[in-house]
Amino acid sequence: MAKTIYIVVPCYDEEEMLPISAPQLLDKLMSLIHSSQITDQSRIMFVNDGSGDQTWSLIQQLHSQDSHYSGVNLSRNRGHQNALLAGLMTAAEYCDAAISIDADLQDDINAIDDMVTKFNDGYDIVYGVRSDRTSDTFFKRFTAQSFYRVMNMLGAKTIFNHADFRLMSRRVLAGLAEFPEVNLFLRGIIPMIGFKSTTTEYARKERIAGESKYPLRKMIGFALEGITSLSTVPLRLITYLGGFIFSISVVFAIYTLVQHALNHTISGWSSLMISLWAIGGLVMFSLGVVGEYIGKIYLETKKRPRYLIESVLNDTEQKKL
C-alpha cells in the first residue's frame, strides 16, 4: 500500500529561492503520486523560520494554488535545526515518513525516489550522503570534512558527508520527539535513535539563488554546538592534560634538583619551578575531575530516552491496565 510522505523544507529569507524550488519539489511529488509510490495526501511542507522578507506570503500563495503545498509559520527566527524540528513534528501528525531538505535544493531531489523505494523496502531512516562535493568551495569542503572527523574522534557518531537531507519513518519521528534537548543537533541525534537505516548517494549542487545562511561565524557556532551537545570528551581532555602536565613536573623536579645539587642555580629557582609545574598540573587535573561530574550532570539534564523499542515478539494478550 502506498504511503504518505511529507517533504519538510525549512525556509529563512528564501524569497529568491522558493519560486524556483517549489515547482521542482511539486514535480517530484506529483511524479511519485502518479506512479502510485506515495499517496495523494502527501505534501510539501514549508517552514517559515521568521523570515524578514516575503517568504511566508509566498508560501501562502503556493498553498492556495495547490493543496500539495502546505506551510508552518514560526513566531520568530529560531534557526535551521529548530525550524526543521518544528516541521518534522508537525508532519509526524499526518505522514508515514518525512523527508527533510534545504530550500536551496543543493541536495539533489532525484535522490528522493531512492529514499522512497528504500522506505518501502522497510528502512526507517535513509541518509542522503554527498558522494561529490566539487561544487562546494575548497574552504567549505575542508571545514565541513574536518568537522565530521573531529566529531567522530570526540565520540559523537555522525554519518560522514551527510547533512540534513534524509528520510525518517513515523516511528523515527516519534523517537525523535522523545529527545527533549534544547541544544538541537539533529545529525547527531538521529543516529542515536537507531532502527534500520541505510544511505543513498548524490552529488551536491551549487546554490542557484539567494545567499548561504551559514557564513563562517554560524558554521563555527554550529560545529561547537554539535561537539558540546553530543560529547563530554573535551572535559575529559582537561583531566588528561592535567595529568600530563603533572607528570612533566615530576621530570622537571628531578632535573631541577640535579641542577640545584650541582649548584647551577640561583637560590629560589628550583622551588619556584617545581611548584609552578606541579601546582599547574594539579589544578588542571582537579578541574578535569570536576568537569567529569559536570559532564554527567549535563547528560542527565538532557533527559534522553534510555531506549526505544522497535518491535516486541509475544503471543499472549496484553492485560489492560
Is position 102 an interface residue for ligand UDP (rule: CB under 6 A)?
Answer: yes
Q: How far apart are CA 305 and CA 288, in angstroms?
A: 27
Is position 104 an interface residue for Mg ion (rule: CB under 5 A)?
Answer: yes
With CB atoms as reference, the residue minimizing the distance to Mg ion is 104
Is the Cβ–Cβ distance between 124 and 169 less than 8 Å? yes
* Residue 81 grid coordinates: 535545526
3-state secondary structure of 132: strand
The packing angle between helices 170-177 and 186-193, to 10°, is 110
Residue placing its CB nearer to ligand UDP in the complex, 94 or 147 = 147
Residue placing its CB nearer to Mg ion in the complex, 65 or 137 = 137
* Dihedral sign, Cα of residue 208, residue 214, residue 219, residue 224: negative
Which of 21, 81, 100, 106 binds Mg ion (CB under 5 A)? It is: 106
Under rule CB under 6 A, which residues in 15-54 are in contact with ligand UDP?
Answer: 49
Which of 68, 80, 166, 187 binds ligand UDP (CB under 6 A)? It is: 80
Is position 77 an interface residue for ligand UDP (rule: CB under 6 A)?
Answer: yes
CA nearest 168: which of 1, 2, 5? Answer: 5
Is position 11 an interface residue for ligand UDP (rule: CB under 6 A)?
Answer: yes
H/E/C letters for each residue in 276-289? HHHHHHHHHHHHHH
Which of 34, 121, 131, 214 binds ligand UDP (CB under 6 A)? It is: 214
Is position 14 an interface residue for ligand UDP (rule: CB under 6 A)?
Answer: yes
Is position 14 an interface residue for Mg ion (rule: CB under 5 A)?
Answer: no
Binding piece for Mg ion, criterion CB under 5 A, among 17-25, 104-112, 118-126, 185-193: 104-112
Q: How far apart are CA 110 and CA 132, in angstroms?
A: 15
Residues contributing to the site for ligand UDP (CB under 6 A): 10-12, 14, 49, 77, 79-80, 83, 102-104, 106, 212-214
